[in-house]
Amino acid sequence: MYAILDIETTGGKYDEEGITEIAIYRHDGESITDQFSSLVNPQIEIQPFVQKLTGISTRMLQNAPKFYEIAKRIVQITEDCVIVAHNASFDYRILQTEFRRLGFPFERKSLCTVSLSKILLPDQPAYSLGKLIRNLGIPFSDQHRAQGDAKVTVKLFELLLEKDLQKNILKAHISSENPNKVPPKFLEIIDKLPSEMGVYYIYNSKNEIIYIGKSNNIKKRILNHLTSKSKKASIIQKEIYSVTFALVGDELITLLKEQNEIKSNTPRLNKAMKFRTYPMGIRMDDSAEYPMLIIEQAKKEQHYLSVFKNAKNAKAALFKWSKTFGLCLQKSNLSQSTSGPCFNYVIDQCKGACIGQESPSLYREKINVFLESLLYPYQNFLIVSKGRKTGESSFILIKENSFKGYGYFELNHQIKNTKQILSRLIPMEDNSDVQKLIRSFLMRKKYNKLIPLDEI
C-alpha cells in the first residue's frame, strides 16, 4: 500500500516550519482506496514568498484545524503504507517534525518520485513536478496546492508503476531511512538549538570539546551529525553529551571564528583544520636579481602573497597573474628550464626577463604593480556587515593591512573612533588563511559597506 501525499508549509527556518495544507491518497498499486485533504492552522507566520506562491493566507487558516486535530486521521490513512511524494525527504521530514512536536514517533518507509523518474523516465529535460507533468501531457490544475500536487503525483506514480514492469526498481528505491529520526536521548539537545548562523561546539561527558563546526543553520547541521552514517558522525553520536553555540550573523565572521576556535582548542575530530585551511602558498623570493615566485607547501614562518586549497589552484593563480601582469614564468618554480625564453615570451605576454631582454628594474616595477593588486583597498578600515539580530551590525577591523578581530554595534556613533572600536573588538590572530578569506569576501563584495579609518 502507498500513501501518496503533498504538503504545503509556512516556509521559514529549517525544522521550524509548519504545515498549512496536506493531501493524502491511499493507493493499492491499482487505484485510490481512500483520501484525505485539509487546510491546517500552523499557528505561526506564513512567509510572504510562500503566501504568494501558494495563495494560502493566514486569514484562510484561522478556522482550519490545528495539526494535532488531524494527526490521528493521518496516522490511520498512512498505516502500513509507503509514503510516496515528489521530493519525499522534504514531505516526510515535515510530517515527522509535526509528530515529534506532539511526542509521537511517526515512522514510515518512503519513496521519492523524483529519484524514480530519473531512472524510469531518463530522457526528460527537467524533473520538477510542474515541468515533468507538463512534458508528460498530464493535466495539472491547482499547482502549489496540496490537493492539486498530490493528484498529479498519483498520476505520475501510476505511470512509473507501469514503466517498472518487474517492480524491481520500485522496491530498490523504497527507503526506510528517517530524515528526522533522532534517538530520544538527543531530542533535548536538538530542541535547544537555534536555526540560525553561527559556530557550534560538541562536548563529551568529560566536558571536552570533541568537534567545532559552523553552519547557516545550527539545528539542521547538528541533526545531520546525529542521523548521518559517516565515520565522524558515528563517533559524535557515541560521545555527544551537550552542544553549545555562538550566534554570529555574518558569514565571514563565522568562517574566521570557526578557524580561530579550532586552532585554539584543537578538537580531536577537527584534524583536517587543526593546521591550515589553505595548505599551499605562493611567496616571493627577492634575493635574486629578478624576484622569483615560489609555489610550496605553506610553512608557518613564511609570509605568502596568497594561499590555496591545493597545488592545482595555486598554479592556476600563478598562470593568471603572469598573464595579467606580464610576469615571466621562468622567474617562478613552475618553469623546468632556467635558460632560453619562457612560454609567455613566445606568445608575447612576457617582455623577455627570461633572456635578459627586460631589465631587472623594469621587471621589479611590474612586480610592484602586481603586489599592489593584492593589498586591501585601504590600510585601515572596517568591513561592515549584518549582525546577529535586527538593528545590529558587525564589523571586521583591518589595521595597517592586518586583521585585528571583529565586533558588533547598533549605532554608527559607537564606532567613530579608535577607543570605541577597540572596546568592542574581539581580538583574533592574523594569518595567511585569514587573509585569503577576507580577500575572497572583498572580491565578491559580500559585505554592506567599507569604512576607511584614516585616524587609526
- List the chain domain ranges: 2-172, 184-273, 280-373, 381-452
Closest CA to 261 of 382, 406, 429: 429
pLDDT band, residue 202 (cuts 50/70/90): very high
Residue 229: the pLDDT is 81
Residue 332 CA, chain-centre distance (Å), reads: 36
3-state secondary structure of 440: helix
User: How many whole angstroms separate alpha carbon 5 and alpha carbon 9?
Assistant: 13
pLDDT digits (tens, 9 = 90+) for 213-248: 999 999 989 988 988 888 999 999 999 999 999 999
Residue 149: the pLDDT is 95
Name, of 37-46, 103-112, 275-284, the range with top average pLDDT: 37-46
The four Cα atoms 113, 117, 120, 125 give a dihedral, to 10 degrees, of 170
Residue 100: the pLDDT is 87
The four Cα atoms 443, 445, 450, 454 give a dihedral, to 10 degrees, of 10
Q: In the numeric block, which cell numbers belong to residue 403?
A: 586583521
Mean pLDDT score of the chain, rounded to an integer? 89
Task: Report the amino acid identity of residue 390.
Answer: T
Residue 330: the pLDDT is 87
Answer yes or no: is pLDDT of 182 > 70.
no
Q: Give me the helix-helix angle, 251-265 and 432-443, nearest 10°.
A: 170
The arithmetic mean of pLDDT across residues 331-337, rounded, is 79
User: How many whole angstroms separate alpha carbon 207 and alpha carbon 183?
Assistant: 21
pLDDT digits (tens, 9 = 90+) for 142-172: 888 999 999 999 999 999 988 887 777 777 7
User: How many whole angstroms separate alpha carbon 154 and alpha carbon 446?
Assistant: 44
User: How many whole angstroms separate alpha carbon 382 and alpha carbon 258?
Assistant: 20
Answer yes or no: is pLDDT of 179 > 80.
no
Residue 346 or residue 316, greater confidence: 316
CATH of domain 2-172: 3.30.420.10
Residue 272: the pLDDT is 63
User: How many whole angstroms separate alpha carbon 132 and alpha carbon 138?
Assistant: 9
Residue 92: the pLDDT is 93
Residue 344: the pLDDT is 79
State the greatest distance between any 2 C-alpha atoms of the chain, in Å, as a whole number: 87
Q: Which CATH homologous superfamily contains domain 184-273?
A: GIY-YIG endonuclease (3.40.1440.10)
The arithmetic mean of pLDDT across residues 376-393, rounded, is 93
Residue 102: phi, psi to the nearest 5?
-90, -5
DSSP summary character for residue 45 = P
pLDDT band, residue 178 (cuts 50/70/90): low
Residue 39: the pLDDT is 96
Residue 150: the pLDDT is 95
User: How many whole angstroms separate alpha carbon 153 and alpha carbon 130?
Assistant: 10
pLDDT digits (tens, 9 = 90+) for 39-50: 999 999 999 999
Residue 119 or residue 339, greater confidence: 119
